[in-house]
């Protein structure tokens, strides 16, 4: 990463998910092609075609979930960020302006599956925040939060314990002496 741009990305999708997405897309296209080549020019044929197109769109949306990836782009030079949903070469997202970076926080959110979710949030413009990263590993979250806070030259907050927020000593973290282990 250079000093002017930061890209925060989910881990790449497992190969098996990409295979499932490819199979679903293939079935969707095959169904659409078969429908158009065997379509009957009648009212019922039109209704059947609408149902089949709806089905193909639905399963394509499911396939998109198997092959999409979330990324957040931070443009430090122009004080902008862009959350992006990416599917292959297609990137969907819009740039937003950040006026005043405040701090980065690590937040703990217990999930319903009894695992831990740690969110890295960028706080800006007094009380606004944006979720940059979510993982079930505290060390990964603290690493991402630390890197961003260093690039932006702002503080890092450990907000993983409700009503007991603590500013992280980044110098101690650099030296490996910080007490920031979570489990």
Q: pLDDT of 78-126, one tens digit each?
A: 888 888 888 878 889 999 888 788 999 998 876 555 567 888 888 888 8
Residues contacting 47, CB < 8 A, separation 6+: none
Task: Determine the Cα–Cα distance for residues 161 and 164; give it in Å rounded to an integer.
Answer: 5
pLDDT for 1: 44
Give domain limits for the chain. 1-97, 98-183
pLDDT for 181: 45
pTM, 2 dp: 0.66
In contact, 43 and 88? CB cutoff 8 Å: no
pLDDT for 110: 65
Q: pLDDT of 59-82, one tens digit each?
A: 999 998 898 888 888 887 888 888
Residues contacting 9, CB < 8 A, separation 6+: 69, 70, 71, 72
Q: Which of 115, 121, 148, 151 is nearest to 133 (CA)?
A: 121
């Amino acid at each position: 990463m250079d000093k002017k741009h930061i890209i925060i990305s989910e881990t790449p999708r497992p190969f098996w998910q990409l295979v499932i997405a490819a199979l679903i897309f293939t079935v969707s296209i095959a169904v659409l092609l078969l429908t158009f080549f065997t379509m009957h020019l009648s009212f019922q044929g039109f209704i059947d075609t609408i149902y089949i197109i709806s089905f193909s769109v639905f399963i394509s949306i499911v396939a998109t979930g198997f092959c999409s990836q979330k990324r957040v782009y931070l443009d430090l030079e122009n004080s902008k960020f862009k959350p992006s949903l990416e599917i292959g070469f297609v990137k969907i997202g819009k740039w937003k302006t950040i006026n005043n970076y405040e701090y980065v926080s690590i937040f703990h959110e217990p999930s319903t599956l009894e695992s831990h979710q740690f969110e890295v949030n960028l706080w800006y413009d007094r009380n606004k925040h944006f979720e940059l990263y979510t993982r079930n590993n505290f060390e990964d979250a603290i690493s991402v939060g630390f890197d961003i806070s260093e690039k932006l030259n702002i503080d890092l907050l450990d907000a993983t314990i409700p009503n007991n927020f603590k500013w992280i000593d980044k110098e101690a973290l650099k030296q490996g002496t910080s007490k920031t282990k979570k489990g």
